[in-house]
Amino acid sequence: MEAPGGGGLGGADPQLQRFIEVETQKQRFQQLVHQMTELCWEKCMDKPGPKLDSRAETCFVNCVERFIDTSQFILNRLEQTQKSKSAFSESLSD
């Protein structure tokens, strides 16, 4: 996979394409960690102590799980609401 492409299909270097995909994925992950840390800090941290006690640690872990659950719940419910409005979703999908 070492050929640094010049032309090819539409001039897109496959190595760069792959790189962009991977880095974009990594960034999405990083962004979510930033966001969840911020949110969960508000919910789980009282006064910053000399170390992260186990109660706070558990809270952070639960917080992450519940955040993902919330996100999935919202997507699923939105999808269901769209399906029930059949005429509406038909015009959306085309």
Partner 1 sequence: MESGFGSDFGSDFGSGGGGGGKLDPGLIMEQVKVQIAVANAQELLQRMTDKCFRKCIGKPGGSLDNSEQKCIAMCMDRYMDSWNTVSRAYNSRLQRERANM
Residue list 13-42, contact with partner 1 (CB under 8 A): 13, 15-16, 19, 23, 26-27, 29-30, 32-34, 36-38, 40-41
Q: Does 75 bind partner 1 (CB under 8 A)?
A: no
Question: C-beta of 23: minimal distance to partner 1 in Å?
Answer: 6
Q: Does 65 bind partner 1 (CB under 8 A)?
A: yes
**Residue closer to partner 1, measured from CB, 34 or 83:** 34
**Helix intervals (H) in 1-94:** 14-44, 54-84, 86-93
CA distances to 6, 40, 52, 91 from 48, rounded to whole Å, are: 54, 14, 8, 53
Cα distance between residue 5 and residue 12, in whole Å: 8
Q: Does 68 bind partner 1 (CB under 8 A)?
A: yes
